[in-house]
Amino acid sequence: MRTFLKLLPVVLLVLAGNAAHAAHTQVQLLLSANTVRPGDTIWAGLDMKMDPDWHTYWKNPGAAGMATKIQWQLPPGVTVGDIQWPLPEKLPPAEITTYGYNNEVMLLVPLKIAADLKPGMVLDLKANVSWLECKEACIPGKTTVAAQLNTGRDTEVSADAATINLWKSKTPQPGVQLASHAWWEKPASGDKRPLIIEWSVPDKAAEADFFPYAANNFDVQPATENLANRTGGFSLRKTVQKFSGDWPEEISGIVVMEINGQRQGFDVKVSVGDQVPTGEITSVPTSGAGVSTAPTGGVPVLPVQPLWRMLLYAFIGGLILNIMPCVLPVIALKILGFINHAQHEPGRVRVLGLIYAAGVLVSFLVLAGVVIGVKAAGHHAGWGMQFGSPVFVVCLTTLITLVALNLFGVFEVTLGGRTLSAAGQLASKQGAPGAFFNGLLATALATPCTAPFLAPALGFAFAQNSSIIVLIFLSVGLGLAAPYVVLSWNPAWLKFLPKPGAWMEKFKIAMGFPMLLTAVWLFNLAADDYGTNVLWLGVFLVLLAFATWIFGEFVQRGRTGKGIAVVIVLILLIGGYAFALENQLHWREPVAMADSTAASPANPGGIDWQSWSPEAVAKAQSEGHPVLVDFTANWCLTCQVNKKVAIEVPSVRKKLREINAVTLVGDYTHFPENITTELNRYSRAGVPLVLVYPKDVGAQPIVLPELLTPGIVLDALDRAAR
Amino acid sequence: MIMKTAFALVAALTMASVAMAVEVGKPAPDFTGTDINGKTIRLSDYKGKIVVIESYNSDCPYCHNHYATGAAQELQKDLAAKGVVWLMVNSVNPKNMSHRTPEQARAEWTSQKIAATAWIDDSSGTLGHLYGMKTTPDMYVIDKNGILVYHGAIDNQPDPFHNPRTADNYVRDAVDDLMTGKQIAVAETKPYGCSVKYAD
């Protein structure tokens, strides 16, 4: 009797197979359009929601289980393509590994509507769905789902299009560019034979795996062994079990990698060689969507660049950082130092050049460490991210103000307990600590200047394992330090620099002004975090300036009353800090300010920016608008420049109006998670990122380069409107 | 230390089970088990007879399909008439809702009109692991000399709703081939079904 009770649910289920949903899975048929123009292809999404801990299976269920089946009942003129399966998970136990889905999955099917259908029809779409759902036990499920689709003059996208798009982005993308290849490692032992699959992404760290498609006479077993790669790609050892016939000459499936913390699948068909390949073997692309006109899903192809090229980019990017406006003042100071020493101490110049380089490299190592730490902590790291931290901005503003005051000669910096001479400035007196400090400062200032070369290299770096991140950062550092190391190593070249003299003092003071400008820019950044309260940061900076003047005038250069002066300086500093920063500004915990960069109507004649979200993009596309998306941040100089010279210009404004485009802005100032994810999809470590989406539903965007001209933007908009 | 030893032990056991994994064309490993009536079943006792081993769990819709339609019992009777031994192996762990105590198993035997030789209680999973059983059903055919001649699916219809009588049954085919002295046409296939519910 007890047995019968246990069997009862199964029996009932088999009998009541046509229920709207089985015990543990709810199935629903969604369409990407309400109305379709004959000749178009739309997507059907079979949404399966499983109860907690229950799962259903992928097209290859693995060692057990059953792939979900869809049998369509369609009116004439409607044809379906193959099911597009989102990337599944490997499900335990390891000894009986299966491939499937927990919680929810949407199976996607392209529906082609024949061109000869008349507008104004109502098409009844029906599908019999059967699946196996398992937790402790397995239960077969069966249901019939239905949906209606109208034909019309134009395709009108449905409310479910965004959800369907989201699932489509989880289906594997074509893996042709991976150049995957495979070979038998050894002769067979019994019915099993080890197989090596290799592909060339310059990335070894992230979880790599291969999920095979089902085959009749053999089975690629689920266990995966990651091997040390030979060529900067991945190498996996899999075991193939043969049931009958010959050993397969071709293996197809999905290459799975974790890229930027996201699992991504790549569809590959690999021919299997008999030995380790010597030359380059390219994989054959497998057919993508079953219907050729179907819009392709998936995220854009990630750039596959060899490591050396990335390191070269990083090096060149570092070189370019030298002439960025935010770094140039430090560099000028550096030149002063060279001139001072080149006269009589060429050997010392070399040493200082190397120490400067060490300062740069150490700070880049620290940055690399931060990135690795943040990555490990599960956050998305981004270049320039430290500028999103108000505490960092306040500290740096204070530091830069002090450097400016120092250049103006208000006070001197004493290092190593020595009081330096009047000419011996922090930077120009080039003691070893001074050179080192210059290195640190150059790095701190260089970070917001994401140079065009640097961005792809960093985008690449952020997706890598720790050792490659360190390599990339060191390359940038080497690039930044290189000119000085070279100059200091060959004093002959220093002769091209002007002779030292009284002009140096004036030049030094003049360099104080770009430094002050940098401080003003940083102050402006702080305003985003503190709002009008930023006044108290200004008050603190003035008190600080006053204190440094007293310090310089009466402590360093004065003869009497030094004790009183020191007390006054301390009172000013401590009092200014406690009152202005702590009490008024609450500088360590700023009150979150309202998002200031959302739609700003106060922009007469300008572009009508709306706030970015994936839904906003889908909605605009569904209404037939091309979309321009600008991912930007207040601390990103390149972004501001792009906007000024290439986006908010009359020609682009006019074009946007002409093609009826929707303009969206994503504010990355405070690193919202959803934008980080979006940046990572395009292998970018930071902003700027400007995308132009064509008006067709689900179409992938045109990715614009980092530095924009109106021509580039106009061209992209033209293509998007076509 | 204890952990390390335990780990080494588990690793050694795993290796052993891998090394001993059954292979078509090789002798099937001998085993001793207890059936639901408390009787000791030893594979080597059936030397000289064809033996079919079935990994079984009637809560699994695939097994259920074969028994609910009566096709499995029919096959058991047909083969028994030819002198073939049919050993069912139930490896469901005792914590799983599909586990059967010997008493429940005897009731199921009667109510389902099972016509096998014996139902081996393998709730420890020892025999299942020894033979590398992954699914229910997972089928093995052993010839009169104790050589494994077939391993894999019960038939060519991996579906819990099909009519087993119209499918190509690989076990029946293998036994027929053995009886007529022919080469086994299909010696190995991929087993289908639910995963065997071993203890974690």
- Minimal CA separation from A180 to chain B, in Å: 27
pLDDT value of position A220: 93
Structure tokens at A31: 């369409």
Q: Is residue B116 part of a domain?
A: yes
- CA–chain centroid gap for A692, Å, is 17
CA distance A256 to A238: 14
Q: What is this model's ipTM?
A: 0.83
Structure tokens at A410: 């208000």
Contacts A–B by Cβ distance under 8 A: 92
Which value, to the nearest 10 degrees, does the dihedral of the CA atoms of residues A438, A440, A441, A447 take?
Answer: 140
Contacts of B61 in chain A (CB under 8 A): 10, 14, 132, 138-140
Q: Is residue B15 part of a domain?
A: no
Q: Is residue B5 part of a domain?
A: no
The beta strands (E) that lie in A591-647 are given as: 609-611, 627-632
Q: Which of B138, B141, B130, B172 is nearest to B17 (CA)?
A: B130
**Any long-range contacts for A489-493 (C-beta under 8 Å, 24+ apart)?**
A489/A350, A489/A353, A491/A342, A491/A346, A491/A349
Query: Where residue A17 falls among pLDDT bands split at 50, 70, 90?
Result: very low
What is the DSSP secondary-structure string of A399-445? HHHHHHHHHTTS----BTTBPPPTT--TTTT--HHHHHHHHHHHHHH
CB neighbour list of residue A625: distance below 8 Å, 6 or more residues apart = A660, A661, A662, A695
CB neighbour list of residue A164: distance below 8 Å, 6 or more residues apart = A30, A32, A43, A45, A106, A108, A698
Going from the N-terminus, what domains does chain A have, and what CATH number goes with each? 2-168 (2.60.40.1250), 174-273 (2.60.40), 307-585 (no CATH), 609-721 (3.40.30.10)
Identify the CATH number of the domain in which residue B107 sits: 3.40.30.10
**Which of A3, A134, A142 has its CB closest to that of B194?**
A134
Residue A164 pLDDT > 80, yes or no? yes
Q: Is A190 on the interface with B (CB under 8 A)?
A: yes
Paired with A65 in beta bridges are B193
Q: Is residue B147 part of a domain?
A: yes
Q: Write the pLDDT tens digit of every residue in A401-460.
A: 887 887 788 877 543 333 333 333 444 445 667 677 777 776 666 555 443 345 445 655
Q: Which residue has the higher pLDDT, A78 or A376?
A: A78
Which backbone phi and psi does B196 adopt, to 5 degrees?
A: -70, 130
Mark yes or no for CB contact B111/A3 under 8 Å.
yes
Q: Is A3 on the interface with B (CB under 8 A)?
A: yes
**Which of A3, A10, A243 has its CB closest to that of B64?**
A10
CA distance A680 to A379: 12
pLDDT value of position A311: 81
Q: Is residue B8 part of a domain?
A: no
CA distance A226 to A237: 6
Which pTM does this prediction carry? 0.52
Q: Write the pLDDT tens digit of every residue in A239-266.
A: 999 888 889 989 999 999 887 777 888 8
CA distance A438 to A428: 10
Q: Is residue B10 part of a domain?
A: no
**Which of B59, B161, B198 has its CB closest to that of A137?**
B59
Determine the residue type at A157.
Answer: V
Helix, strand, coil percent content, chain B, rounded in steps of 5: 35, 20, 45
Mean of pLDDT values over A668-686? 78
Which residue in this structure is represented by tokens 């002004």?
Answer: A513
Q: Which residues of chain B have pLDDT under 50?
A: 1-20
Query: Where residue A145 falls among pLDDT bands split at 50, 70, 90?
Result: very high
Q: Write the pLDDT tens digit of every residue in A168-194.
A: 889 998 877 777 888 888 888 888 899
- CA–chain centroid gap for B71, Å, is 16
- Minimal CA separation from A273 to chain B, in Å: 24
Mark yes or no for CB contact B161/A142 under 8 Å.
yes
Contacts of B188 in chain A (CB under 8 A): 191, 242-244
Q: A217 and A244 in contact (C-beta within 8 Å)?
A: yes
Q: A35 and A151 in contact (C-beta within 8 Å)?
A: yes
Q: Which domain holds residue B161?
A: 22-195
Residues in chain B: 200
Q: Write the pLDDT tens digit of every residue in B105-143.
A: 999 999 999 999 999 999 999 999 999 999 999 999 999
Report chain A's terminal Cα–Cα distance, integer Å.
70
Q: A450 and A384 in contact (C-beta within 8 Å)?
A: yes
Name which of A138, A189, A191 to mutate to probe chain B: the one with the most chain B Cβ atoms within 10 A of its Cβ.
A138
Cα three-residue angle A519-A523-A527, rounded to 5 degrees:
170
pLDDT value of position A538: 92
Q: Is B63 on the interface with A (CB under 8 A)?
A: no
Q: Is residue B7 part of a domain?
A: no
Q: Which of A112, A241, A270 is nearest to A179 (CA)?
A: A270
Report chain B's terminal Cα–Cα distance, integer Å.
23
- Minimal CA separation from A190 to chain B, in Å: 7
Mark yes or no for CB contact B188/A66 under 8 Å.
no
Determine the residue type at A131.
Answer: W
Which value, to the nearest 10 degrees, does the dihedral of the CA atoms of residues A301, A305, A311, A313 take?
Answer: -70
Mean of pLDDT values over A306-322? 77
Q: Is residue B12 part of a domain?
A: no
pLDDT value of position B126: 93
Q: How many domains does chain B have?
A: 1
